[in-house]
Structure 1
Amino acid sequence: MIGDDDRMDTLRRQGRRLAWLMAGAAIGLAVVLLVVVVVTIMTGRNGVVTGPLWLLVAVSLLLAALLGLVPGVRELEVTGARSMLGADGEMVVPHRPRPAHHLRTGLWVVLHLLLGLLVTAVLATFVPTAGLYFVELVRDRDLGSGVPLPGSATGRAGAGVLAVLAGVASLLAWWPIGALLARLAPHVLGPTTADRLQIAQERAEREAERTRIARELHDGIGHALSVVSIQAAAARAIQTRDPQAAATALAAIEDTARGATGELDAVLALLREEEPAGEGRARPPEGIDRLIAEHRHRGMDLRARVELPDDLAVLQREHLERCLAELLTNAQRHGGEGAVHVELVEVDQRVRLQVTSPLRDAGGTATAGASRRGSAGGRGLRGLRERADLFGGTVEAGPRGDVWTARLDLPLLRGSEHR
């Protein structure tokens, strides 16, 4: 049954290819007749064409190529190549065709019409002639085929075999031509170099959007989950010894989880290309002062120096808050005991954010602490570098003696400049 189905599929495919060639022959014949009529009117006498044959051929080819400029022709040819020829390669119908598209479409239309006329001519001339000649050989008399008959019986037998072979070959000539066109279609109707560059650019833009969403998830929800994890561990450790402090930690968990839910709603709205519920934009990051206060409230010995101009661009301020939240979370998760120093200042028309935190077990396992910091914060550091790249800045991070230092350096953007 499978073999029968395969054979039927093959026959249907070849039938569709033959129909596609016949359609090209019909259009080609109309083009040729139109050219003959026009040339006859312009150059003929008494209805007789007196112009040279090459002129008829040249004008017919030109008119066939011009058909490729007609709107919708490329779409029809691409559809026909896919559905009737069975071409599998990539083919495009550009919204704004370029000269290269018109040239390729014209070439394909010429091939369609020429090969359709060739197949039709072979089927209409060689097949009947071969059949008539075979009958002449059998009856041993001339019936008007125009091919001379051999005198001997052996010659007639050989000529009969050749007539049968020629007839079968002519009858099936469209088979390899259709297969050739199916392979050729993606090369002629496929994307040009400019199309491939545009496709690559669109893919890069989609990838950049996915990267931005991943960064927002990491910097927003990832930060919130880290805080929840730290506060939950603290609450469990002191729940019997200091119930009031445990209650404060649980309240912080509740507040952080509520904020993370808003962040998640904003990101999901961004994925759906709609506005977040109840807001016109994604939830903005916490203010720098509030961010520092919350980390101090969670028990971090945080010593901060923040000196930013009042007219700092809003977008740059939001990115700085995201970066500071990431660095403080890393310091709380992976740092050792001791003070965390934050410096966020303007220096020579540049913004510098530097966070220094002690390494865990600096006396004996500083290297291990640094490696854990680097591996756990790999995605965070990559996100910081991506944010720095947006403003033409740089990020440096790594262990320096018994401390971990991360430094973000950006060109200063003021509100008027950002607009």
Structure 2
Amino acid sequence: MAEHTQKTRVVATAWRRALVLLIGGLVALPYGAIAVWSLGLWITGGPLSARLSSLVVLALLVVPAVLPVTRALERTVANQLLDTAIPEPQRRATLADTGRGALFFAGHIASGGILILGIAFVFPLCAVLIGDALTSTGSDEGAALLRDTFSITEIDATTALIVGGLAAVLIVVVTIAAAYLLPWYATLLLGPSRDEQRASEAEAARAGQRREALARDVHDSVGHALTVSTMQALVARGAIERDPDAARAALDQIERVSRAAVAELDYVLRVLRDGDEPRDDRAPDRRTLADVDSLARETRAVGFEVDLCVDGHPEKLPASLGREAYRVVQEGVTNALRYAATPRVTVSIVIDDEELSVLVENETSAVRVIDGRGLAGVRERVAVLGGESSVDIVAERWRLSARLPVRGPQGGRGT
């Protein structure tokens, strides 16, 4: 069954490519007729005006080859019949693009014209020549046809058969080679140029990096919100009867954290849908390292002690660096909320003119680090900024450390 399917696919591909060549051959007919007429005028020495007119007509026949619509039609034929995936151009065609399109058009009608020549003349002629050779009457109708068509005075049946056979073999070889090379030829000449391909690859790489950054943001913000909300819910359940005010405060905190997470998720979805950063006032406030006190307060509200030490001025950091550093701290605190052996986490931040260092640690009962998506995101963030990070367990304390250059890929200080 699979072999039959494969054979069917091969036959279908061969027919589609033959159809593309036949289309080129039909387009080539007026070109061939006018070329023969013009050549005849010059060989027979027709009137000068007629000969010059033939050159003007031939020049006008070049015009379709350079028209944008011709390149668009050729691209459509290639995508539909040759199984290519040539994209639509994203900019106005350059002179080089026009030249490549004209070259494909010329090759298309030339290879198609050769096939039409074989079907309409060479193959029937070979059939006649073979018939002459197989009959005992000594007929030379095929040789006579060659003499009359090409004004050859002397050619015998044997020579005619050899010439006709070689021409037929050559046409078959050229047709098979053209059909085999058509998809490659179309992609090369109708597709984007090398500069466009490099630009497209660079854009795809930037888009991939952007998607990875968005995935990290969603993981960190939503993961932290869910962790805090879960713990606040536990606080509210335990205090709902004995301390209604504390329960209401916990529910308020759940609401604030949830709204922030929803806003972040909505922002990410709009970026993925539209492809650009939102330029309206619906974009969420993106926390930076200057907001680390708020993170500490939220963590303390669920019953966790936070020993926070900040040496330096986080508000003077570049905004992008401050955001990424905040995410690193947030991921460390979230891991502490989930896995710490005791409800306490230590956060140390040191900022100087050259380097920003972050250390988040808590007691743990684990004997080895379990690497998850969040920690992988930390490594990616830090690597993009040209820094270094590590996660290890030392003396029963889980430690996340990161060192980021203040003057690195993100440039100098600024806001």
TM-score with structure 2 setting the length: 0.70
- Taking the TM superposition and a 5 Å limit, the aligned residue runs for 1:392-403 are 392-403=386-397
Alignment of 1:253-264 (within 5 A): 253-264=254-265
- Quick check: 2:25–2:110 contact (8 Å CA) kept in 1? no
Distance in 2 (CA, whole Å) between partners of 1:187 and 1:100 is: 18
Question: Which residues in structure 2 correspond to 1:72-91 (within 5 Å)?
Answer: 72-83=69-80, 86-91=81-86
Quote the Cα distance in structure 1 between the aligned partners of 2:40 and 2:285: 73
2:309 aligned counterpart, secondary structure: strand
Q: Quick one: distance in 2 between partners of 1:281 and 1:254?
A: 19
The SS at the match of 1:272 is helix
Relative to structure 1, is the Cα distance of residues 147 and 236 closer, same or farther in structure 2, using a 3 angstrom cutoff?
Answer: same
Which SS does the other structure have where 1:284 is aligned? coil
Q: Which runs of structure 2 are paired with 1:51-70 in the superposition (5 Å)?
A: none
Tell me which moved more, 273-282 or 258-267.
273-282
The answer to whether the Cα contact below 8 Å between 2:16 and 2:82 also exists between their aligned partners in 1 is: no
- Range with bigger deviation, 276-285 or 95-104: 95-104
The one-letter code sitting in structure 1 at the alignment partner of 2:29 is A
Q: Distance in 2 between matches of 1:123 and 1:139?
A: 27
24, 28, 40: which one pairs with 1:25?
A: 28
- Given that 1:267 and 1:282 are in contact with CA atoms closer than 8 Å, whether structure 2 keeps it comes out as no
Cα-to-partner distance string for 1:259-294 (whole Å, 9 max, x where unaligned): 222222222222232787982423322722222222
Q: Contact conserved, 2:17 with 2:179, CA < 8 A, in 1?
A: no
| 8 Å CA contact 2:382, 2:402 repeated in 1 | yes
- Taking the TM superposition and a 5 Å limit, the aligned residue runs for 1:3-402 are 13=16, 16-17=19-20, 19-26=22-29, 28-29=31-32, 32-33=35-36, 36=39, 40=42, 46-47=45-46, 71-83=68-80, 86-91=81-86, 94=89, 95=91, 105=101, 107-127=103-123, 129=125, 134=131, 140=137, 144-146=141-143, 180-191=177-188, 196-237=197-238, 239=240, 243-273=244-274, 279-285=281-287, 287-309=291-313, 310-337=315-342, 339-359=344-364, 361=365, 366-367=366-367, 370-371=368-369, 374-375=370-371, 378-402=372-396
Contact kept, 8 Å, 1:331 with 1:357, in 2: the verdict is: yes
Q: Of the candidates 395, 403, 415, which is equivalent to residue 409 of structure 1?
A: 403
Alpha carbons 1:335, 1:358 under 8 Å: kept: yes
* 1:230-283 deviations in Å (ceiling 9; x for gaps): 222343455566555444333322222222222222222222327879824233
Q: Which moved more, 1:328-337 or 1:139-148?
A: 139-148
Match of 1:319, SS state, is: helix
Q: Does the C-alpha gap of structure 1 residues 272 and 332 become closer, same or farther in structure 2, counting only changes over 3 Å?
A: same
Question: Is the 1:74–1:93 Cα contact (8 Å) retained in structure 2?
Answer: no
Change (3 A) 1:238 1:110: same
> 1:34/1:311 Cα in 2 relative to 1: closer, same or farther (>3 Å)?
farther
Write the distance in 2 (CA, Å) between the matches of 1:18 and 1:90. 19
For residue 123 of structure 1, report the CA deviation from its aligned partner.
3.4
Q: Are the aligned partners of 1:220 and 1:263 in contact in 2 as well (CA < 8 Å)?
A: yes
SS in structure 2 at match of 1:47: coil
Contact 1:285 1:318 in 2 (8 A): yes
Deviation readout 1:181-237 (Å, 9 max, x if unpaired):
343122112256656544433332232122122112112122111111222234345
Q: SS of the counterpart of 2:143?
A: coil
Amino acid at match of 1:47: G
- Cα distance in structure 1, aligned partners of 2:187 and 2:198: 13
How much has 1:98 moved relative to structure 2? Answer: 7.6
Structure-1 separation of matches of 2:325 and 2:128: 90
* More off after superposition, 338-347 vs 177-186: 177-186
| Counterpart secondary structure, 2:216 | helix
CA deviations on 1:332-363 (whole Å, 9 max, x unpaired) are 2111226422222213422222112111x4xx
Corresponding pairs, count? 373
Q: 1:229 to 1:129 in 2, by over 3 A?
A: same
Which consecutive unaligned segments of at least 5 residues does structure 1 have? 50-59, 149-158
Please report the TM-score for the alignment, with normalisation by the length of structure 1.
0.70
SS of the aligned residue for 1:355 comes to strand
Task: Return the offset for 1:107.
Answer: 4.8
- Partner amino acid, structure 1, of 2:82: A
SS at match of 2:322: helix
Change (3 A) 1:183 1:247: same
Question: Which whole-Å CA distance do the structure 1 matches of 2:116 and 2:229 have between them?
Answer: 78
Task: Tell me how large the CA RMSD over aligned residues is.
Answer: 4.6
1:91 deviation in Å? 3.8
